């Protein structure tokens, strides 16, 4: 199956924006957390920022492999006062769910391209795991 490369690059740029925005959200959220729970959440948010940045980089490499340069378009202002772990996790779950849905949406458009399909499937698997983990923490 022939894939529309321009469309796929647009999709990948959008996915990269989701990941970079998630990175910024987790980064800021980390410093909004208050109370003793903050200590427990430190590792989770550190992992969150590291992984989202890694994912963005992986996507950028895919874009480069397609002969394009990644384009970043993020319209974001992060404010908000102190927050607790429950609310922070609820927001994290929302962001992860959207990332998962975004990868799922792209999958049919890359089906047939072994490398891209494999990449998107792996991301779906990773994001599904994240969603499940966070949902479990919120139970």
For the bound state, the minimum distance from the C-beta of residue 3 to other proteins, rounded and expressed in Å, comes to 19
The answer to whether 33 contacts other proteins (rule: CB under 8 A) is no
Q: Which tokens in the block code for residue 79? A: 């404010």
List 36, 73, 114, 136, residue binding other proteins (CB under 8 A): 73
List 75, 114, 136, 139, residue binding other proteins (CB under 8 A): 75
Sequence-ordered list of residues with C-beta below 8 angstroms from that of 125, at least 6 positions apart, any chain: none
- Phi first, then psi: what are they for 50, rounded to 5°? -65, -45
The answer to whether 91 contacts other proteins (rule: CB under 8 A) is yes
For the bound state, the minimum distance from the C-beta of residue 59 to other proteins, rounded and expressed in Å, comes to 13
Q: Which tokens in the block code for residue 9? A: 């690059």
């Amino acid at each position: 199956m022939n894939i529309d490369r321009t469309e796929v690059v647009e999709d990948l740029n959008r996915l990269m924006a989701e990941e970079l925005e998630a990175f910024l959200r987790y980064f800021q959220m980390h410093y909004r957390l208050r109370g003793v729970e903050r200590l427990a959440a430190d590792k989770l948010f550190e992992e969150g920022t590291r992984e989202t940045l890694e994912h963005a980089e992986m996507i950028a490499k895919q874009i480069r492999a397609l002969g394009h340069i990644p384009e970043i378009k993020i319209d974001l202002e992060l404010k908000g006062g102190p927050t607790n772990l429950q609310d922070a996790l609820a927001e994290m779950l929302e962001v992860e769910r959207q990332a998962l849905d975004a990868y799922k949406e792209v999958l049919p458009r890359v089906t047939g391209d072994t490398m891209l399909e494999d990449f998107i499937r792996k991301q779906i698997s990773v994001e599904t795991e994240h969603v499940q983990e966070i949902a479990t923490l919120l139970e």
